[in-house]
């Protein structure tokens, strides 16, 4: 696969990721958490190569979003040098929750 943009998680996105992984590990076990982590990492590699694959957000056209898994939506923006993951959002939450 061709190399792409450098993918960086914001502090908030890293906290989101850690919280989601801890929840999965606690409720479903380590194997599910590892599988989910690998899925997210593969997705982050993919959007680094194809950053325009996410849809533009209506309320903020400088931000893109992509549903990685039925319960995970990733919000990000990018420029010529890097892609910044802003949030990893559990879709079971209300959008106004932070």
pLDDT digits (tens, 9 = 90+) for 18-69: 999 999 999 999 999 999 999 999 999 999 999 999 999 888 888 999 999 8
pLDDT for 95 beyond 60: no
pLDDT for 92 beyond 80: no
Global pTM value: 0.86
Instruction: Classify domain 6-90 by CATH number.
Output: 3.30.2310.20
7, β-bridge pairs: 83
User: For the chain, what are the domain ranges?
Assistant: 6-90
Strand intervals (E) in 1-98: 6-9, 55-56, 64-69, 72-78, 82-90
pLDDT for 94 beyond 70: no
pLDDT for 97 beyond 60: no
């Amino acid at each position: 696969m061709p190399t792409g943009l450098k993918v960086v998680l914001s502090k908030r996105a890293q906290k989101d990721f850690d919280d989601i992984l801890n929840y999965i590990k606690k409720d479903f076990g380590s194997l599910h958490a590892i599988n989910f982590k690998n899925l997210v990492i593969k997705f982050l590699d993919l959007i680094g190569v194809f950053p325009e694959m996410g849809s533009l957000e209506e309320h903020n056209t400088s931000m893109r979003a992509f549903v990685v898994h039925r319960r995970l939506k990733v919000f990000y923006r990018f420029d010529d040098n890097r892609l910044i993951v802003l949030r990893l959002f559990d879709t079971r939450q209300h959008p106004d929750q932070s």
